Structure 1
Amino acid sequence: MAEIDALRGFALLGILLVNAAMMAGPYGLGSVHDPGASALDRTVEGVLQTFVVGKFYLMFSFLFGYSFTLQLAAADRAAARPVPRLLRRSLGLLALGVLHAVLLYVGDILITYAVLGLVLVAARGCSPRAARRAAGLLYGCTSALMLLVGSVSLFLSDAESADLDAELAADFPGLTAGYRGDAAAVLRTNLDQLPDALLASLLMSGFVLAAFLVGLYCGKLRLLADAAVDRTRLRRVCLLGAAAGLPGGLFMALTASGPLGARWTALGQVVGMVTAPALTAAYVCGTLLLLRGPRGARLTALLAPAGRMALTNYLSQSLVMALVFTGYGLALYDRLPPAVVTAGACALYGVQLALSTRLMTRFRYGPVEWLLRAVTVGHAPGRERGGP
């Protein structure tokens, strides 16, 4: 269980880096080419595109599916019916996700988890083989569809692609004014952006659900248990995943932040998303190798507390960034370069690691984890260590 928490704690860094870039300004991560971006800006965004974007939300999704099997086991130990518990948990996640999307960050993932988590509830009795086959089918169909759609942009001329970029960028002044305005303006802007954000979540739901099912498969077979997978197999998956995933991430970076024209951007994003699961697998297996290595205990002690309160940390990341970038606080939206935003995100992650270690020394749950568990089990659990 400590390794699962450590993996979740590591995933928090990738989630934070991407969300910080997206919350910092309208040109986040090259979705539209920024004519004013410096060479350093493009380099930072290129590194994030290659190594981070699309990889860590899949790691979280995989761990969500794996943890689902732990939820089932907990219900069994408590002699409780699992379905009511799991439905209450999904409802709690949905409520948190809606509040998060409206108040703080429209790129919320909790709404997607709450809805797609119902599929896990329905599939809880499936065999590991069925879960693996369903994941493969979902991944294949989603990849084929997205590659087809992404390839359409290649038939556009450079001028037509530039016109589309200009049309999207025409909305940026209003977006910037909204996020730099007062609290009411920030709320209105979030609500205006929410339909597009939900559509983007829908487009990615095939990959998310596939990752859920891979996690379910691994959880049913206990493949992340300490002695379940030998180091040779972990090393092989790590190397193969990196070999398959890094070229796709690099291609995405070259289209979004590099020399390729705007008409390549959509295809580059799709290729990056399709190859991201391979790099995610490499990250999971590589992290497990480190956790089981000579310094593994120290690394686990560093990362696991943050992973145990991952939901609290995820939401608090958005709160801090909303205070920095929107009219809730400093209103620095579209005022900081990517290098500064990335450095600030790393600093925030370091603070979260330290605070999580202190809190988890005393408490069994983070604040939001305690609330969600109370909703899940139907009563208030003890918060301090040693409590009921």
Structure 2
Amino acid sequence: MTTRPTAGPTAGAGATTGPAARSATGPTASSRLRDVDALRGFALLGVLLVNITYMASAYQGTGVADPAFGSALDGTVRFLTEVFFEAKFYLLFSFLFGYSFTLQLASADRDGAAFPPRFLRRCAGLFVLGLCHAVLLFPGDILTTYAVLGLVLLALHRIRPRTAARTAVVLLCATAAGYLLLAVAVAGTGGTDTATVTEHGRQATEALRGDAGSVIAAHLRQLPDVVFMLAFFQAPAACAAFLLGLAAGKRGTLNDPTGHGPFLRRLQWVGFPVGIAGGLVWAHAAQGDSDTAYQLVAMAVNVMTAPLLAAAYAATVLRVLNGPRGRRMAAVLAPAGRMTLTNYLTQSLVLAFVFTGFGAALVGRLAPAYTVLTALALFAAQTVFSRWWLARHRYGPVEHLLRAVTLARQPRRTEKAT
């Protein structure tokens, strides 16, 4: 997530005639949910590897390298993160949000409940959680964006799968075209004021090392820039991924990934070379290039290529999950994926204590290579904790809270998770 960077219903609350609804109670339900949960766990790791870079340095995303870390190793770690992770994994999360929307429709239908009130309560709960998350822990929150875009998904939930997919492609193309037009408009007008950005980064670093009031004030000062980035960069791409997930859910694409082997291989053959090429352009522009027009061109390239790399990652994970090593991978990733919301918020909580004045205040003090190791260690701990917790509880702690808000009552122990 580049922040700072889940047969379709035909009426009413949903119908049980589509493939997604049929599979929810059919013999493939457990394997389908395992694959979806494992994909969520994989996306959670990718999001963490990106978000930690923004919490570890106030210069990340500014176009100016952190002056505290100028070694070749530091630059290489940043570059590889931007090529392979940044702006890719929140798209996979968004796809799964759209896909899970179809599961929630089927769940409401099984319960004989009206779906819109349920989903609106869910969006309201996500928005409140996201707002608290952004102010207290990490301004690059994505939950508020999901809550708002969820209303779009609700309004379009009767859309045909092919129409949803075509709309997603048009939205991505229009967004990329907008960046290219803006690049033409600003060409030759100057670029990033490196001295000013460096000073702002220094001030932000000092504020984040201060007491709790100083940290929260720093987050509040960052929010306008974050909202701008979310609205004009992440939101259109996330909305497109929502629609692709909705289309996949209506067609039951993840019900039997082994039946889509040739398609998954094509995603890999196309997604990896095109996505990595686009990531190289994106990373090059992010590595201190001060030409604003070039940065906008790189954003246009990324809008079109990042979804292909995200799709290639997903195809690879699905193929492994349904291969001889699938059970082992699922045992690691699926529990973390079932507790995605709890783990996402816990990541920010832990990292806030690591990098801000809430705790060790290591912002600007931990080299990029060590931030990667920190992220991997944190995720490993979360996989162990998630497995332990779910052996004793049906839902993660925050998932239980959000489900209670969604249902407007305490969930029953016998209810299926969606």
TM-score by length of 1: 0.94
Q: Distance in 2 between matches of 1:187 and 1:249?
A: 33
Alignment partner for residue 142 of structure 2, among 91, 109, 112?
Answer: 109
User: Where does residue 168 of structure 1 map in the other structure?
Assistant: 197
Alignment partner for residue 306 of structure 1, among 318, 330, 336?
Answer: 336
Q: Which runs of 5+ in 2 are unaligned?
A: 1-32
Alignment partner for residue 3 of structure 1, among 35, 41, 46?
Answer: 35
Q: Distance in 2 between matches of 1:21 and 1:319?
A: 15
User: Where does residue 296 of structure 1 map in the other structure?
Assistant: 326
Matches within 5 A, 1:152-191: 154-156=187-189, 160-161=190-191, 164-191=193-220
User: Where does residue 119 of structure 2 map in the other structure?
Assistant: 86
User: Where does residue 249 of structure 2 map in the other structure?
Assistant: 219
Quick check: 2:172–2:303 contact (8 Å CA) kept in 1? no
Q: Distance in 2 between matches of 1:110 and 1:199?
A: 15
The runs of at least 4 consecutive aligned structure 1 residues that moved more than 3 Å come to 33-36, 150-154, 260-267, 382-387
User: Where does residue 267 of structure 1 map in the other structure?
Assistant: 297
Quick check: 2:257–2:322 contact (8 Å CA) kept in 1? no
2:267 is equivalent to residue 234 of structure 1: no
2:224 is equivalent to residue 195 of structure 1: yes
The one-letter amino acid of 1:198's match is V
Quick check: 2:64–2:287 contact (8 Å CA) kept in 1? no
User: Where does residue 409 of structure 2 map in the other structure?
Assistant: 379
The one-letter amino acid of 1:23's match is M
User: Where does residue 14 of structure 1 map in the other structure?
Assistant: 46
- Equivalenced residue count is 382
Displacement of 1:265 after TM fit?
3.9
Displacement of 1:27 after TM fit?
1.9
User: Where does residue 138 of structure 1 map in the other structure?
Assistant: 171
Displacement of 1:205 after TM fit?
1.0
Structure 2 vs 1, CA of residues 85 and 228 (structure 1 numbering), >3 Å: closer, same or farther? farther
How much is the aligned-residue C-alpha RMSD, in angstroms? 2.0
User: 363-372 or 266-275: which moved more?
Assistant: 266-275
Q: Distance in 2 between matches of 1:349 and 1:38?
A: 26
Q: Distance in 1 between matches of 2:166 and 2:375?
A: 37
Is the partner of 1:80 in helix, strand or coil?
A: coil
Structure 2 vs 1, CA of residues 151 and 317 (structure 1 numbering), >3 Å: closer, same or farther? farther
Quick check: 1:139–1:210 contact (8 Å CA) kept in 2? yes
The one-letter amino acid of 2:265's match is R
Q: Distance in 1 between matches of 2:178 and 2:155?
A: 25
Q: Percent identity?
A: 48
Quick check: 1:365–1:383 contact (8 Å CA) kept in 2? no
Give CA-to-partner distance per residue, 1:19-71, whole Å, 9 cap, x none: 00001111225632345521111100111011100110000000000000000
Give CA-to-partner distance per residue, 1:354-380, whole Å, 9 cap, x none: 111111122110000000000001111
